Structure 1
Amino acid sequence: MTLKSDVSVKVKPREATMRIGDLSAATGSSPRALRYYEEHGLIRSEREPNGYRRYDEATVGDVRTIRSLLDLGFPTELIAQILPCTGEAGPVGDCTALMARATELRDDMDDKVRRLAAARDALSDFVARQGTPV
């Protein structure tokens, strides 16, 4: 016996999402760090009925930006303000004051780089005067 069906089912394709382990592997950030970023409003997830987190593909870029800014010494509060100004679609809202603060931080970093280079050069000169190979 053959059953015939006139019912067609259309399945809506699911958005490209990933669980926390996938996001961790894609970004090199630990799941603990990702939960921290989420707790501080830097990234967002949707929760499955079982409580698992689901992240969209754009979160990979956000996490990479967050990690870069943290490595540069930016506080999470400032990163939360910067992220809307760094999206691929362009800035969301007025980023003028934020850009002024980012410029100030950049200039502070440039000053630290100059001071560190001068200290390194002075140390190299000292070592060279002592006859120790550099």
Structure 2
Amino acid sequence: MRVAELAALTGTTVRAVRYYHHLGLLPVPAQRAGWRDYDLSHVARLSRIRWLAQAGVPLEAVGRVLDGTAPPTGAEAGTGTDTGTDTGTDPGTSSSLSPEGACQGAVVDDLSTALARAREHLAEVTRQRGGEYPGP
């Protein structure tokens, strides 16, 4: 299918699809006869992107949530915040958090932040309508 069909199926715009390509959230499909040829995997991924974005997850975090990747932190990012010393040992034997654990932690943090924002928004809307939000 073409980009306009993909956008229509997922309730978005061609411009948004191209923006998600630019951010690296949505892979660019192969071309067939000079046109990008989208398939159902693109529909599924774009639907997930839209659902997470509408739920309040920042676009920077959407990729981490979908792919299970974490941003580099500490020494990996070159910030110098790693207080340990390099002992030349296998990183897998360290007592620090594993990359998988760090990834899960980053995703949980992203989703927790989005949930907190959604709750704050719900409380504000409820107050504006004259009711009281009972909270979580």
Q: TM range, normalised to the smaller chain?
A: 0.5 to 0.7
Residue 100 (str. 1) matches residue 99 (str. 2): no
C-alpha separation in 2, matches of 1:114 and 1:44? 37
Matching residue of 1:46: 29
Report the alpha carbon displacement of residue 49 of structure 1 after superposing the two structures with TM: 6.1
Trace 1:69-108 onto structure 2 (pairs within 5 A).
Answer: 69-85=52-68, 94-108=103-117
Residue 56 (str. 1) matches residue 39 (str. 2): yes
Change (3 A) 1:49 1:65: closer
Change (3 A) 1:112 1:28: closer
C-alpha separation in 1, matches of 2:19 and 2:34? 17
Is 2:57–2:110's contact at 8 Å kept on the other side of the alignment? no
SS in 1 for 2:57: coil
RMSD across aligned positions (CA)? 2.2
Structure number with bigger Rg: 1
SS in 1 for 2:122: helix
Matching residue of 2:81: none
Q: Which runs of no fewer than 5 residues in structure 2 stay unpaired?
A: 69-99, 132-136
Q: Number of aligned residue pairs: give it.
A: 98
Matching residue of 1:20: 3
CA offset digits 1:26-70 (Å, max 9, x no partner): 212221211111111111123326542122311112111222222
SS in 1 for 2:126: helix
Greater relative contact order (CA < 8 Å, ≥ 6 in sequence): 2
Runs of 4+ in 1 over 3 A off after TM superposition: none
Is 2:2–2:36's contact at 8 Å kept on the other side of the alignment? yes
C-alpha separation in 2, matches of 1:69 and 1:47? 25
Matching residue of 1:3: none
Is 1:45–1:54's contact at 8 Å kept on the other side of the alignment? no
C-alpha separation in 2, matches of 1:102 and 1:69? 9
SS in 2 for 1:45: coil
Residue 116 (str. 1) matches residue 99 (str. 2): no
Q: Which runs of no fewer than 5 residues in structure 1 stay unpaired?
A: 1-17, 86-92, 123-134
In the alignment, residue 57 of structure 1 is paired with which amino acid?
Answer: L
C-alpha separation in 1, matches of 2:56 and 2:14? 21
